[in-house]
């Protein structure tokens, strides 16, 4: 573990760590905020997954989340959104390749060599955090846009591993919208049945356990009707009786201004679940 950044923040410590990640076959950067409570006791962990084009820096510099993590005694962990490096595959466009890992395990060349972000977030990253910091063993997950898709699908595939899940402006049905269909065809291949493991709407239909779930979606989001489609997840949840707290926030867009406005409520939501 190589600490590349350390800053005092709300009586806690904001770190950026570089470590060798076996599942993605490269060095990954991860932001870790340690609340002041971490100096004397073990703390639960809240994982944040960012959206397209982001790195670990966007969340820690724009969301204002450290204030609330310090209040509730929660460790915040925010990994990069994709593998990086000279030998990592890339492509034209912001919505595929570097910065667009989509939190799947790619099966198609050239992506399969490094784009194993689902396995990294689900298994390797928690093991790394638990091995290097004092944690209680309890964890929750949230994210934004592509990262909201990642948070929802990871929690739904592993319902007993997460105390709660939430998202801002998530891509809830990637198999049905342009962003998801483009990337899934490239990363996972033409057999659309393999895509279902990374679609929140499909996963809800077969959920073996319920994870407390909250979604905030801005009504002025430019991607609302073309890429995000929260009504599809709402309908899927209603069909099987899966509890969903979907909050449509009037006038908010897709930006970090939106995230910063409600991140305190999301952290409080997770902190309550993590205490149970």
Full set of structural domains in the chain with CATH:
2-275 (3.40.50.1820)
- Collapsed DSSP state (helix, strand, coil) of residue 29: strand
169 is an active site residue: no
The band of 96, judged by pLDDT with boundaries at 50, 70 and 90, is very high
Q: What is the pLDDT of residue 149?
A: 98
29 is an active site residue: no
- Evaluate if residue 143 carries a pLDDT over 90: yes
Angstrom distance (rounded) from CA 68 to CA 272:
13
Average pLDDT for the chain: 98
145, 164, 166, 169: the catalytic one is 145
Q: What is the pLDDT of residue 33?
A: 98
Angstrom distance (rounded) from CA 231 to CA 91:
31
- Pairing assessment for the beta strands 165-168 and 26-34 based on DSSP bridges: unpaired
Q: What is the pLDDT of residue 276?
A: 77
Average pLDDT over residues 71-91: 97
What tens digit of pLDDT does each residue of 32-60 get?
999 999 999 999 999 999 999 999 999 99
Q: What is the pLDDT of residue 202?
A: 97
Closest CA to 104 of 180, 160, 166: 180
- Sign of the alpha-carbon dihedral angle for 259, 261, 263, 265: negative
What tens digit of pLDDT does each residue of 216-235 get?
999 999 999 999 999 999 99
29, 72, 114, 254: the catalytic one is 254
| Element housing 231 (H / E) | helix 230-240
Closest CA to 215 of 272, 162, 258, 275: 258
The band of 186, judged by pLDDT with boundaries at 50, 70 and 90, is very high
**Cα angle 175-102-158, degrees, rounded to a multiple of 5:** 85
Q: What is the pLDDT of residue 220?
A: 98
Average pLDDT over residues 146-175: 98
82 is an active site residue: no
80, 95, 199, 221: the catalytic one is 221
Average pLDDT over residues 248-268: 98
């Amino acid at each position: 573990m190589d600490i590349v950044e350390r800053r005092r923040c709300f009586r806690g410590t904001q770190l950026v760590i570089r470590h060798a990640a076996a599942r993605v076959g490269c060095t990954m950067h991860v932001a870790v905020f340690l609340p002041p409570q971490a100096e004397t006791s073990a703390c639960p962990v809240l994982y944040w997954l960012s959206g397209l084009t982001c790195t670990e820096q966007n969340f820690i510099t724009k969301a204002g989340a450290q204030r609330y993590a310090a209040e509730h005694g929660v460790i915040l962990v925010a990994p990069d959104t994709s593998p990086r490096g000279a030998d990592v595959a890339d492509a034209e466009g912001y919505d595929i390749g570097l910065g667009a890992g989509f939190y799947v395990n790619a099966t198609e060349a050239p992506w399969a060599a490094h784009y194993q972000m689902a396995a990294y977030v689900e298994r390797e990253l928690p093991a790394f955090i638990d091995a290097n910091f004092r944690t209680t063993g309890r964890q929750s997950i949230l994210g934004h846009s592509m990262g909201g898709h990642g948070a929802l699908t990871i929690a739904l595939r592993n319902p007993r591993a997460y105390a709660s899940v939430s998202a801002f402006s998530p891509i809830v049905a990637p198999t049905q919208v342009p962003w998801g269909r483009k990337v899934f065809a490239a990363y996972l291949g033409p057999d659309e049945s393999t895509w279902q493991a990374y679609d929140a709407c499909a996963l809800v239909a077969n959920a073996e356990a319920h994870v407390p779930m909250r979604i905030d979606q801005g009504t002025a989001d430019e991607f609302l009707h073309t890429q995000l489609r929260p009504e599809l997840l709402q309908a899927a949840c209603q069909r099987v009786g899966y509890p969903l707290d979907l909050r449509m926030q009037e006038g908010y867009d897709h930006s970090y201004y939106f995230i910063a406005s409600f991140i305190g409520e999301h952290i409080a939501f997770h902190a309550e679940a993590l205490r149970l």
